[in-house]
Amino acid sequence: MDRRVVRFDYWLDAAFDRIVSAAPGVQLVTCRREGDDAAAWQALAGAQVYQITAAKDELPRHWFATADLLARCPDLLAVSSSGSGCDTIDIEACTRAGVAVMNQSGGNADSVAEMAIGLMLSVLRRINESDRLLRAPARGFSREDVMGHELRGRTLGLVGVGEAGSRVAALGRAFGMQVIGCDPAYDAAGLAARGAEAVGFDELLQRADIVSLHCPRDASTLGLMNAAAFAAMKPGAVFVSTARGGIHDEAALHAALASGHLAGAGLDVWDQEPPPASHPLLALPQVVATFHTAGVTHEARRNNAELAATQIVQLLADGQRPARLVNPEVWPHARERIARALDPSRSPSR
């Protein structure tokens, strides 16, 4: 009997369907996000792998990989995120159920890093402001009215120095910036190897001319950048986030910018995506805004699709431990379930 991989009809690079569909003994089923829930539940109920979008606002909530969904999918062995984030997946519920969670960490790191630097340049060099003024029917401004600042010589503070953060560190150094960082996953030597001087979070806020977020969205980071954190930043500093909405408090950021305490912000992620046109942050000229597109390039989307498809095919072929296993503590349980599903007479290995 074919092993079933189910996904919904959100945009996914064609490499995913091509690789999964070509795998022997694997059936790929694509369901509609809306309009035919009965068919989708029927497909999921017999699925071994659920390929899910990492973007929380492009999938109805009842399709999130929660405990309720897992209870209706007894054959599910793994949930695979389309990106590095797992906002649509209850990782703890998956672990309790013996379901492996896989992401595509690093697949879009170069794209995210380039966007982070791009946002820094746009804010400091006032590129968006100049563009808007040039397009306005009424002129009457001078070049000096949109005079900006160089990146060179500034201190870049990275909150999170993983795959994307380490690439931002390298780009920052290429621009002549001093790079400092904090990340609980690495000690001082580990951070140095990733291109950042290790500092505590409080010291980072006090020293950095630019604070750039590259940390995951979880219980430890939700609301991390609150009013107190923005107040602790240097006067005239810039805030950038290509991480996830909810890590920074949007109202507190607006207050810090409107008061003049912060000079600007580059924002790719939002509590609601896309943010409403009436969002107060969009009314501020010193804010450069994008629609969670830091990791959305042709190259990154293809990388992530190939990584996801390859992990899934390997898992279903021989129970191979995923290279990007988000919940490694589940593996002993998941390995047994996978071995039984692949061959009921086979004892688990690896």
Nearest residue to 293 (alpha-carbon basis) of 108, 48, 101, 103 = 108
Structure tokens at 33: 């996000």
Residue 273 is a catalytic residue: yes
Contact 125, 149 (CB under 8 A): yes
Catalytic residue among 3, 244, 248, 254: 244
Nearest residue to 237 (alpha-carbon basis) of 212, 214, 213, 270 = 212
- What are the CA-CA distances from residue 223 to residues 75, 167, 233 (Å)? 36, 25, 16
Catalytic residue among 58, 273, 306, 336: 273
Question: Exposed, middle or buried, 133 (CB in 10 Å: 0-12/13-18/19+)?
Answer: middle
Q: Which residues contact 174 (CB under 8 A, 6 or more apart)?
A: none
Catalytic residue among 7, 194, 248, 292: 292
Residue 244 is a catalytic residue: yes
Residue 292 is a catalytic residue: yes
User: Catalytic residue numbers?
Assistant: 244, 273, 292
